[in-house]
Amino acid sequence: MTATTQLTVAQALRRAAARATLAPSIHNSQPWRFILTNGVLELHADRSRQLHVLDPASRQMLISCGCALFNARVALAAAGYPVVVHRLPIATQPGLLARLSVDSPDQPPASCLAGLDPVIELRHTNRRRFADEPVPAALVDDLITAAAAEGAGLLPITDEAKLVTTAVLAQRAAAIEDADPAYRAELRAWTTSEPGRVDGVPSIAVPRSGGQSYDDIPIRDFDIQGTGELPADTRSSIDQCLLLLWTAGDNPLAWLQAGEALQRVLLELTRQGFVAGIMSQVAEVPAVRAMLRRELDLTGEPHLLLRVGRAPVTPATRRRRLVEVLVEHL
């Protein structure tokens, strides 16, 4: 972007907020809001959108907000601005997750991030059946590097015994959650067949339930109302590329940075023509998460599994309008 076409700081920060809203979030709950004032963009958690049954500790909510934060960083880099990020800047305001500012305009922007901006709209969580083709080792290496750049680890699960163990634990976590009526009610509240709804998981992006399941690693059953429009046969298999996202820490800062790492990984694999399914159930049940950490010999805390491959395009989920999530004080 040339100097004559470069956005003003206010315009760039507004665009960053808009790009942030395209991030993935647990149940497409979009648990974020933004405040733009005096050349600073603040990211806040929207506690009214927290999943209190599935996510009482706010782990998945902060991971979701971390994804949005990374999109904002990418957008500012693409606009030609270097960005300074202060994460959890005020201890007495836990809902204020980050402040982004352009404090060093003479420094070059992060070109490695700017190149990811064009694929933000193309990234969609994919719950379809994946093609029976291997994921290149070079791509996996790139994804590991992307996660590491954001302070997280990405573990390819390739050992057969550990794959089986991961599948068993994922099935156990899904069964525990599905047996809880409160979980099912919460899931129902965030699943929709309403064409005008701008949050929640729409039926057009959900596989049909019913019949025999061939999934080793369960894909969350969003088809509560029996309106799923994607094929039921998803074949989530331990023979596919499975990657575990983890961080050394286990606190709100680590969860936020895990989200940044997740989104960087998702945008990188999208840029290279691949898709991912995000499966967090195995880390949502504390006892199962602890077993997973022990069985995989992790030195940190697991957050979610990624199933990576190629698959037909899946419909995009809708997003709230920017005016609904951004407050500007000019």
Give 115-167 pLDDT, tens digit per residue: 999 999 999 999 889 999 999 999 999 999 999 999 999 999 999 999 999 99
**Could you give all domains of the chain from N- to C-terminal order, each with its CATH number?**
9-115+321-329 (3.40.109.10), 137-309 (3.40.109.10)
Q: How far apart are CA 267 and CA 118, in angstroms?
A: 9
Residue 85 has pLDDT above 90, yes or no: yes
Judge contact between 236 and 217, C-beta under 8 A. yes
Helix (H, G, I), strand (E, B) or coil at 166: helix
The residue written with tokens 């700017």 in the block is 114
pLDDT in the model for residue 230? 82
pLDDT tens digits, 209-253: 765 567 889 889 888 777 787 888 888 888 899 999 999 999 999
Residue 186, Cβ neighbours under 10 Å: how many? 18
* Average pLDDT, rounded, for the chain: 92
Q: What angle is formed at CA 32 by the lines to CA 281 and CA 118, rounded to 5 degrees? A: 85
CA distances from 263 to 147, 161, 266 (A): 9, 29, 5
Q: Provide mean pLDDT across the span 52-59.
A: 97
Given this model, what pLDDT does residue 3 score?
42
Q: Can you give the pLDDT at residue 69?
A: 98
181: β partners: none
**What pLDDT does 213 receive?**
63
pLDDT > 80? residue 106? no
pTM of this prediction exceeds 0.85: yes
Query: Mean pLDDT throughout 16-28?
Result: 98
- Decide if pLDDT at 4 tops 50: no
Q: Give the burial string for 277-313 (b: 16+ CB within 10 Å, else e).
A: bbbbbbbbbeebbebbbeebebebbbbbbbbbbebee
Mean pLDDT of 320-325: 96
Please give the pLDDT value at position 109.
66
pLDDT tens readout for residues 293-307? 999 999 999 999 999
